[in-house]
A = this chain, B = another copy of it.
Amino acid sequence: MTANTLNIIKIGGNVIDNSENLYHFLKDFKDLDGYKILVHGGGKIATQVSESLGIEARMIDGRRITDVETLRVVTMVYGGLVNKNIVAQLQRFGTNAIGLTGADGNLIKARKRPVKTIDYGFVGDLFDGSINSTGIASLLQAGFTPVFSALTHDGEGQLLNTNADTIASALAVAMSGLFETTLIYCFEKKGVLMDVNDDESVIREIDPARYEDLKIQQIIHSGMLPKLDNAFTAIACGVKAVVIGRSDDLGNIRENKPFGTRLSKNT
């Protein structure tokens, strides 16, 4: 672990929606050495608040549409409720967290997704140059731990709902020019499994050659493919490693025990 190490960790609904999981995750997060950035989605709370406000989820072809009302809700829930409670918890643990959207400090810009067959509404797509890496580095070097919610802006005053996995990956690629960057995705499994029915069959290391083998053997297929494809793209773009694991095992890193599946150029 060098002074120039950066861990970017993404958490989703299975951590955020359960206050006990969140508490334990944040306790382990604060113990990670080096620079770190947390990226979170909104979990089920946005859906619950929408329902309470009588806002109907608009779906087209099974995909959620971010209309004006939904954008208000995600700005409240992701940017306010979830983000500020995570920050307050981290402060309690002595981590100097600062809660951010992409609008804050102009740190992450996006473009409103163009309307083709579907109008997704106020959804932002990232582009080359979306990430203001020097701005983020200045916060890290000033002693702050950025906590990003899944919101960006277009630079013209418009906030945009943006996929948290995509934000985490783009942050990792952009920051890898300045830091030795590892990207950690927390999800519900202990890692990539050799046998999908055996939670203990975690494959600990995958490099591009092994990945090809695992695909040919059909051990990795369907839902995991886009996640891993994106991970290897990030690695090809300079990210040192992408780790996929379960949030409540994060403490293993500090104890030098195995954590999740580590994807990298060379195992």
Contact = CB atoms under 8 A, between A and B. Distances in A.
Q: How large is the interface on A (under 10, 10 to 19, 20 to 34, 35 or more residues)?
A: 35 or more
A105 B97 CA distance: 6
Interface stretch (A80-88, A166-174, A210-218): A80-88
Number of copies: 2
A105 B144 contact: yes
Contact of A103 (B75, B84, B156): B84
Contact of A92 (B83, B92, B155): B155
A266 interface: no
Contacts of A191: none
Interface string A74-113: 0111111101110111011000111111011110000000
A28 B153 CA distance: 22
Interface of A: 49, 52-54, 72, 75-81, 83-85, 87-89, 91-92, 96-101, 103-106, 138-139, 142-144, 151, 153, 155-159
